[in-house]
Each structure stands twice: as structure tokens, then as C-alpha cells.
Amino acid sequence: MDYLEGLNPEQKAAVQQIKGPVMIIAGAGSGKTRVITYRVTHLIRNGVDPFNILVLTFTNKAAREMRERIMHLVGTEAKNIWMGTFHSVFAKLLRVEADKLGYPNNFTIYDTDDSKSVLRAILKEMNLDDKLYQANFVHNRISAAKNNLISWQEYQQNDQIQADDHSTGRGHLGKIYEMYVNRCYRAGAMDFDDLLFKTNELLKTYPEVLNKYQHKFKFLMVDEYQDTNFSQYLIVKKLAAVNENICVVGDDAQSIYAFRGANIQNILNFEKDYPDLKIFKLEQNYRSTQNIVNVANSIIANNKEQLKKNVFSEKESGDKIKVMRAFSDNEEGKLVAEDIMHQRTTKGLKWHDFAILYRTNAQSRSMEEALRKLGMPYKIYGGLSFYQRKEIKDLIAYFRLTFNPNDEEALKRVINYPKRGIGDTSVDNIIVSADQHGITPWEVIINSAKYLNRAPASLPAFATMIQSFQVLTKTQNAYEAALYIAQHSGLLRDLYEDKSVEGLNRYENIQELLNGIKEFSEREDLEEKGLDVFMQDVALLTNDDNDKDKDADTISLMTIHSSKGLEFPQVHVVGLEENLFPSQMSLNSRSDLEEERRLFYVAITRAESKLTLSYATSRFKFGTLISCEPSRFLDEIDAQYLELDFTARPESTQKLSFNDERNAWTKREDTFSKPKTPVKTTSILAKAHVPSPGFKPSDTSNLQVGMEVEHERFGFGKVISLEGNKPDIKATIFFKEIGQKQLLLKFAKLNIINS
């Protein structure tokens, strides 16, 4: 039992409780991964067959790390555990049972781009306004429906949903949903949401399948349970219903994904589902200093909906949390960059010891500019995944088409790349013929003489090529097959002949993909090493699963959402301003505001030894310079843990509490911002301007000084001056109600009243 010796008493108790329903509330930095891996190890050491253990995570990275640790403790038996993300585990289950739902076992998994491409084609066929029915909006609407287990039939029959759609002028959404589902089915494809939606359908429709997996998965563990949505919750509840050996691990204080369907009530109400539940609280934070933990506690204490716990740290007290104030977002970037440079130089740190976290991606601009000016290396995380690059998606589309020739999105992507004389008109004719005859486009292609009046001369050769790939993959391993397809499709040659910098990068990326496939083909822990097995994994990879630069010595820039699960010695959280953080969108309800506070909690607890917070008193937004108020979250921090660095302006004041300092600063702001020529101003509580009936923004390309205008928010005003060159002309306008404003014309929505 030596693996239990390094655990604290609460961790040890959680590991040893293997029977019945268990909830482990794991505070930030409390050794959650260790407890999960040791608990699985304890199950196996106590005679549980690994084939009967199901462990569900939210990232491939977490699953991979856990499996490696368990293998170190119990050996190769760990390979037999069903462990992975919800999507990967249930994709595996669906491949076994797919025929019951009318899908092929080698069904394609559509990513978001594929799904949006299908939707754009449907919108075009239906002649719908793609501005009203934006593919992003439609995709999100369908995704939300599936995650709430609403089929297209139920969607169309639900009066409330139909009323909502018609009230926004989008009455065709139900029909689009129906066509989208049918189009994916015809292509033998499921999207990401289907992997859970179809699993629920399978378990509901086929009791014998549910019974099979209830008895197979005798022990269930779910990581990050606070992030589960309704669909995931139901799957887990059904599978655990017979044995009730279910253990969920999570932290309600880190529930930050409501925007993608996560329901915090799943963890808050878990005890209602299992009254005989045993609860263990992991409250010791091994990551952060006492000051950082205390700040996090003082913030999250303001939330009403929470599972109470007392997180503590036995590390040193550490530095106080520094709060920096800047005039503008650009100055904030400068202050952050200079502070990182100072810390690195004086403390002998590496660049990768620092992270800059922000609420929205747009905030990275000012940070990037400041870092570049000082020659400081950085990397933005959460950007384009390796597997989302065009050249990678092109080659993978060839792989997809080889295994599932009915995959319409893959077909459209490669049928004329590299160019082979099969243009858009020919592709449209193929699809129209398929629709008319109730068959797939692939069936039209392999019988082109029968279904097409004028088929491109190269179409039969394309069909023969794909069929040759199908034959080859049955006898070759993944690497041999992938290399053959890359060469004989003409893709590799096309990229090699492009000698531009971009072309060379694309060619190198393809080589990197082939290298990854070769590594896969040489893995000793896999019995099956075909390209089809590799493709099943690739379809479910995320941004962190193929990061060639993960060990690079660079400063990390990312949104707070992207930082979940990570840790850094020093963290800067920037943009702590009202309407930015907390977001303006979160101020309509307590639940939304509490989620923003949990997001701030996550940001704070990424820091190990030093945490710095900053805000700007003004920031450009949509081309307009706006005044900013410090975030309410700063007010909620116990002042004893803060160190105020308000040296951005030359005059200094005595050390005050944050609120007093802010109030004093606000008074000085009035003095600094007082214009030489008095202008009429009103309270910020003044009644908002109501646009005139029929208000419509004018063409401002010929706007001149002296013209009277109306702004939809600022009201009526007169143009005082114009400066700059097109398209970046700035207009200074005196508005009757709020005084003088400077607006960037390309963004400002002005109605010219008279000239």
C-alpha cells in the first residue's frame, strides 16, 4: 500500500472509499489528479477488473496523464481501463453499436468547420439570408438543442421554441435543423454533439444495450463534474443506476462553462440524486502561496451558490498581490511587459514562468504590442490548432474519404484539389443528381455515365484513385497508407512545388503530420495500427494535443477560460474593469455574475508564487475611447492582501485601502480631465437617448465640420473637427447631453440630420 503513504488524511480517505456514491470536492491545487489516479489504482489492487472501470475526463491531456501514472503503479493492466474524454469514450461505444442507429461503424466525425459548411450549403439551397441566418448562430442553436436532448422533431413541435424563432424572424430554424440531421446521416457522419446525443438515444431506445454497459462499467469516475451538461449528466446517471459505484470529482468554484451548456446544478445537487453519498473535501492547496489562496477565498466567498469549503495553504505567505493602474489599455500593456522584464531579471526566472490572462481575446493586442517593443518572446494559446490548418485538413479529408466515401464534406474538399478539372459547377451537378435520385454523391461519381449528362473527363480517374486507396489501407499500417495517399493524391507534390515561405511551412506541416503517424505506427501498446484507428483518435483531438512548441521558453498569453487546469509561477490578470471583467453580458442575473466571479477565482488560482492584477482607466472600444471603472471584484478582495502600485501618474498619495485609493483617484481624475473650455455634462445616471423613429446610420464618407448628427446612444450633436486620413478619420463631436466625444467614423453609427 506504499502508494497511499504520500497522501494527506482526506486524500487517503477519498482514495480508499471505493464502494457506493462518492463526491470529492477538490479545491484548486489540491492534488485532484493524484487522488483520481490513486483511487483507480486502489480499485485494481483490490481486485476490480480494469475492463469494468470507466473514467471520464474533459481533455485528452488529462486522460493521457492519468493513464500514464496508473500504468506506472499497476503496469499494463491500465491499458484495459475505459478512460478518456466523454466524446472519445462514447465515440468508441457508438462505433460498436452504430448499426442499431443506422450508421456505419466507420462513421465520420464532423468538426465545427464541417458542420458550418453543411449548414451554409443548406442555407444556400433554401435561399435564406445568410446575415439573418448566420452559420455560427444556426450551429450554436442546433448544438444547444442537442445538448438539451431536443431532437429536430421535438424542436419543430415545441410551441415556445417556435415562438422564439418567429419573434426573431428566424422561423426556418426547425427546418434547417431537420435538413442538417438528414444531410449528416446521408454522409454517414456525426458531429461532436451527436456523440452524446446519439449515446443518449441508444441507451434510451435499446434497454439491452443500456443493461450491457451498466454491468460492464461497475465503477465510474467523472473528473471536472462541475463542467457536465444535461446530456452528459443523463448518460452518467443511467450507466451508474445498477451498481451506484460512482465517484465524481470537481470544484463548484471552478464552474466556468455555462456558455457551452455546463450546468453547475449537477454538482450542487449531486447529493439529491444519491442520499447515501459520502463527501470528501480536498482543501489544502499545494500550488499557491498563502496570500494568493486568501485572496481567492475572499473573492469566492461573495457567491451565494456554492459548496462550502475552507481552502488553505501551508506554503509561505508570499508577496502581496500587486494592483497596477494604467491610463489606457496600451499603457497597461507597457506596465505589464516592464514588470515581467523586471521580475525575470531580478529573480532569475525563465520566460515560460510568466502568464498573462485576459477575459477576451481582443485584449491580447495591447499586450502583444508591448512585448514586441521590448523583444520579449510570447505565444498566444487557444489559437489555431495544428489539426485545423488547411493543408492538414486537406490530407485528412483524403483519409476520411478513403474510409467513408459517403463523407460529402471530405469529398467537396478534395475532389478538385490538387486541380483536376472538376470545378464547382460539376460538383453542384453531382450533388443535385444525388438529391434527385435519393443517393449519395459518391454513388453518382462511380456511376457517372448513368447519372450525369456531361461528366468531367477526370471524374472516373478520381473514383479509381480513391478506390485504390481503400484497397491499400486494408494491408498497410497507418504510416505506409498515409504516405501513399499523400503522394498519389498529388497533394504532397503540389505543396513541394510551392517555394514561397507559406508553401514551405505548409509542406513542413504535412511532414510533421506524417511523422506523428509514423510514431503511432510504431507504438508497442497498440495491437491495431491501421490508418482508420489513427483517424478515430484524430477526430477528437484538441488544441493541446499536438503542440510542437509546448516546451518553448515563451510568455504565455491566453484567455482565462483557456488557462483552466494550468499553473504558472507568476500570473498577470489584466483588464479588471467593470463591463469587461465582469463582462457586461453577465450583469443581468446573479447566476451570470457568480459565474464571472468563479472565472476570476480560476484566474487567481493559476498563480503559484506571485499574482499581479491590473486595469486601465480608459480603453478603446469599437474605435471610441471610453472611460473605465475598476472592477467590483477588486473591491471584494480583503485589503490586507493587496499592494497598490498606482505610480502611473506623477503625484502620489499616502497608502490607503483600495476603495479609499480608488475614490481619491476618481476625484483627481475629475481635475485632470477638466477641459479648458467648459462643456455641458450630465450624470452617468442621465436618461439614455432613444433614437428617433426610423433612425438609420448615414454614409459618413463626406461628413464635414458644422454638420448636425444623431448618434443612437449619445443623442444629437454637432461636428467640431475632423482629423486623420481615410479609412481612419476621427470626428470630434459635441453632443448636447453628454458633451464632447471623439469617434472613429468607420465604426461610429451617425445619422446626418442636415449639412
Please tell me the least confidently modeled range out of 81-95, 428-442, 722-736.
722-736
Looking at every residue in the chain, the average pLDDT score rounds to 87
In this structure, the number of other CB atoms found within 10 A of the CB of residue 638 comes to 14
What is the pLDDT at residue 627? 86
Contact of 68 with 48, CB cutoff 8 Å:
no
What is the pLDDT at residue 666? 44
Contact of 185 with 102, CB cutoff 8 Å:
yes
What is the pLDDT at residue 659? 61
Q: Which of 254, 536, 559, 617 is catalytic?
A: 254
The edge-to-edge listing of strands for the beta sheet with 354-358 is 378-380, 555-559, 354-358, 568-573, 607-616, 321-326, 642-645
pLDDT, tens only, 375-416: 999 998 876 667 778 899 999 999 999 999 999 999 999 999
Q: Which residue shows C-alpha cell 444547444? A: 144
Q: What percent of the chain has pLDDT over 90?
A: 59
Contact of 586 with 596, CB cutoff 8 Å:
yes
- Predicted confidence band of residue 688 (pLDDT cuts 50, 70, 90): low
What is the SS3 assignment for 331?
helix
Q: Which three cell numbers stand for residue 743?
A: 469617434
Question: Mean pLDDT, to the nearest integer, of 212-241?
Answer: 95
Contact of 225 with 248, CB cutoff 8 Å:
yes
Question: Mean pLDDT, to the nearest integer, of 7-17?
Answer: 93
Q: What does the chain come to in residues?
A: 755
667 is catalytic: no
> What is the residue-wise DSSP string for 397-427?
HHHHHHH-TT-HHHHHHHTTSS--S--HHHH
Question: Mean pLDDT, to the nearest integer, of 26-41?
Answer: 92
Please tell me the least confidently modeled range out of 232-236, 260-264, 604-608.
260-264
Q: Which of 114, 191, 224, 251 is catalytic?
A: 224
pLDDT, tens only, 125-154: 999 998 899 998 999 999 999 999 999 999
Kindly list the distances between the CA atom of residue 273 and the CA atoms of 23, 201, 225, 267, in Å, as whole numbers in the listed order: 12, 22, 14, 10
Kindly list the distances between the CA atom of residue 290 and the CA atoms of 18, 354, 355, 565, 612, in Å, as whole numbers in the listed order: 32, 19, 20, 19, 15
What is the pLDDT at residue 382? 73
32 is catalytic: yes
Question: Mean pLDDT, to the nearest integer, of 280-301?
Answer: 94
- Predicted confidence band of residue 346 (pLDDT cuts 50, 70, 90): very high
Q: Which of 16, 17, 33, 742 is catalytic?
A: 33
Bond from prior residue into 727 cis (ω within 30 degrees of 0): yes
Which residue has better confidence, 24 or 656? Answer: 24
Question: Mean pLDDT, to the nearest integer, of 306-318?
Answer: 91
Check pLDDT > 60 for residue 672: no
- Predicted confidence band of residue 668 (pLDDT cuts 50, 70, 90): very low
223 is catalytic: yes
605 is catalytic: no
Check pLDDT > 70 for residue 633: yes
Which residue has better confidence, 740 or 638? Answer: 638
pLDDT, tens only, 319-341: 999 999 998 888 999 999 999 99
Contact of 718 with 708, CB cutoff 8 Å:
yes
497 is catalytic: no
What is the pLDDT at residue 747? 76
Check pLDDT > 80 for residue 553: yes
The two beta strands, 715-723 and 321-326, are: unpaired
How far does CA 677 lie from the centroid of its chain?
49
* Separation between Cα atoms, residue 551 and residue 556, nearest integer Å: 11
Torsion, Cα 73 79 82 83, to 10 degrees, reads 60
pLDDT, tens only, 97-111: 999 999 999 899 998
Q: What's at 465, amino acid-wise?
A: M
33 is catalytic: yes
Q: Secondary structure of 436-459 in the HEC alphabet?
A: HHCCCHHHHHHCHHHHCCCCCCCH
Q: Which of 10, 223, 227, 710 is catalytic?
A: 223
Contact of 551 with 350, CB cutoff 8 Å:
no
Residues pairing with 380 in the sheet: 557
